[in-house]
Structure 1
């Protein structure tokens, strides 16, 4: 286990970037053979804005990582954090750290992105995609992504985890991001069974339904236990899902500059709380 964690801690940046594109490519190919729905769109044109947003995200991720290295050094020297309050095997500490990161840096911040008005306006960019496929996992407004990184850093400090735990979590998170957004068809029994423990593709697709209340469900990224625990889990008939967002369907979802400007565009309404499926 120690050797594995050392590997993730010392991974060069080109390998981390390569993992992102490898996962994206795998699910991109699988979509072509095992599609959940037939999307009537030009796949490469659709991918363009999502991949350009990925570039912003990767730059922010690299700069943010460099700026926060000092915090990991401080945590290591100060013994601050919950992990320093008890003795446990490394795998137990890793599992606990991943669970806390998933709760705070995924479920928790995602919930706030839907419930806090100014945060929601940033998150509209992700939900404005009318054709959900693997590239949608990269579709985040840069400020939206920065907020997520700040919450992840908060989880790191709370736990006092080593940087190797955080990198391991990021590698898993990338895999789940593309897995859950990919337009892939799985046997319903398998998808539903997986959803008892992890976020499955169908489970996350309900979150991308164009109207409430489904838009405000299934916030999880890796573990489905948080949605089940906090009452935000839903699983219905996948055939009834319609992608997009009713309050922004008039915007051009394949125009980068339109998408970057959505949070500041007053013509795009905020969420209608009286909307229902």
Structure 2
């Protein structure tokens, strides 16, 4: 287990970037053959906006890496965190850390992004995509990403986890992000069975429906257990899904980068009470 975690600790940046490219490319190509919904759109033109937003996120991630490194140095020196209170097997510490990261840095912060008005304005950028595919997983306003990463670091501090745990979580998170957003059609029985534990493509698509109550459901990224536990789980007929958000009537704005970056500050977009 130590050698396994050491691999992620020593993983160079180019390999992490390659992982993002490979996973995204795999699901982006796969959905061209096994599409859940036939989307009448220009795939490359649609991806351009999402890839530019990904570029912003990756740049912020480089800067945030310095903050992250500082936190792990402090944790090593201080012995702070729940994991430092006992001596559990490494595999169990890893499982517990992944559970807490998925709960706090994915489910809980995602819930807040929908319920806190100023956060919801940032998160509208993600939901304004009218053609959800694998590249939608990269579509986040830069400030939205900063909030998510801040909650991930909160989870790291609470647990006092080693850096290898966090880096392994990041690798898993990349896979699930593109898997759940990909416009792929899994056999319904398989998708439903997997959704008992994991977030699946069908399950997450309801979250991207343009209207409530489905928009405020299925907040999870890796594990579906949080949605089931807190009563936010939805699984219906995917034929009834319509992508986008009813707060933005102009669907052509979904691919307008300048418009997307201004959404949080656009007073013409009136939030519902």
TM-score range, shorter chain: over 0.9
Report the counterpart of residue 259 of structure 2 in structure 1.
Answer: 258
Q: 2:255 aligns to what SS in structure 1?
A: coil
Work out whether residues 121 and 263 of structure 1, in 8 Å CA contact, stay in contact via their aligned partners in 2: yes
Report the counterpart of residue 169 of structure 1 in structure 2.
Answer: 169
Query: In the aligned structure 2, how far is the partner of 1:65 from the partner of 1:210?
Result: 34
Q: 1:198 aligns to what SS in structure 2?
A: coil
Work out whether residues 125 and 262 of structure 1, in 8 Å CA contact, stay in contact via their aligned partners in 2: yes
Query: In the aligned structure 1, how far is the partner of 2:161 from the partner of 2:231?
Result: 29
Query: In the aligned structure 2, how far is the partner of 1:57 from the partner of 1:95?
Result: 27
Report the counterpart of residue 124 of structure 1 in structure 2.
Answer: 124
Deviation, structure 1 residue 4: 1.0
Report the counterpart of residue 19 of structure 1 in structure 2.
Answer: 19
Query: In the aligned structure 1, how far is the partner of 2:36 from the partner of 2:98?
Result: 29
How many residues are paired up? 272
Query: In the aligned structure 2, how far is the partner of 1:161 from the partner of 1:249?
Result: 44
**5+ residue gaps in structure 2?**
none
Deviation, structure 1 residue 268: 1.2
Report the counterpart of residue 155 of structure 1 in structure 2.
Answer: 155
Work out whether residues 248 and 269 of structure 1, in 8 Å CA contact, stay in contact via their aligned partners in 2: no
Q: 1:253 aligns to what SS in structure 2?
A: helix
Q: Please, what TM-score do these two structures have when normalized by structure 1?
A: 0.97
User: Deviations for 1:96-135, whole angstroms, at most 9, x for unmatched residues?
Assistant: 0010000000000000000000000000000000000000
Query: In the aligned structure 2, how far is the partner of 1:249 from the partner of 1:256?
Result: 16
Equivalences for residues 141-152 of structure 1 within 5 A = 141-152=141-152
User: Deviations for 1:133-174, whole angstroms, at most 9, x for unmatched residues?
Assistant: 000000000000000000000000000001110000000000
Report the counterpart of residue 30 of structure 1 in structure 2.
Answer: 30
**5+ residue gaps in structure 1?**
none
Deviation, structure 1 residue 250: 1.8
Report the counterpart of residue 97 of structure 2 in structure 1.
Answer: 97
Report the counterpart of residue 76 of structure 1 in structure 2.
Answer: 76
Equivalences for residues 43-62 of structure 1 within 5 A = 43-62=43-62
Query: In the aligned structure 1, how far is the partner of 2:19 from the partner of 2:129?
Result: 24
Report the counterpart of residue 269 of structure 1 in structure 2.
Answer: 270
Deviation, structure 1 residue 77: 1.6
Deviation, structure 1 residue 249: 3.1
Query: In the aligned structure 2, how far is the partner of 1:151 from the partner of 1:51?
Result: 24
Q: Please, what TM-score do these two structures have when normalized by structure 2?
A: 0.98
Equivalences for residues 211-250 of structure 1 within 5 A = 211-250=211-250
Which stretch of the first structure deviates more once superposed, 8-17 or 171-180? 8-17
Deviation, structure 1 residue 76: 1.1
User: Deviations for 1:167-209, whole angstroms, at most 9, x for unmatched residues?
Assistant: 0000000000000000000011000100000000000000000
Query: In the aligned structure 2, how far is the partner of 1:97 from the partner of 1:67?
Result: 20
Query: In the aligned structure 2, how far is the partner of 1:68 from the partner of 1:198?
Result: 27
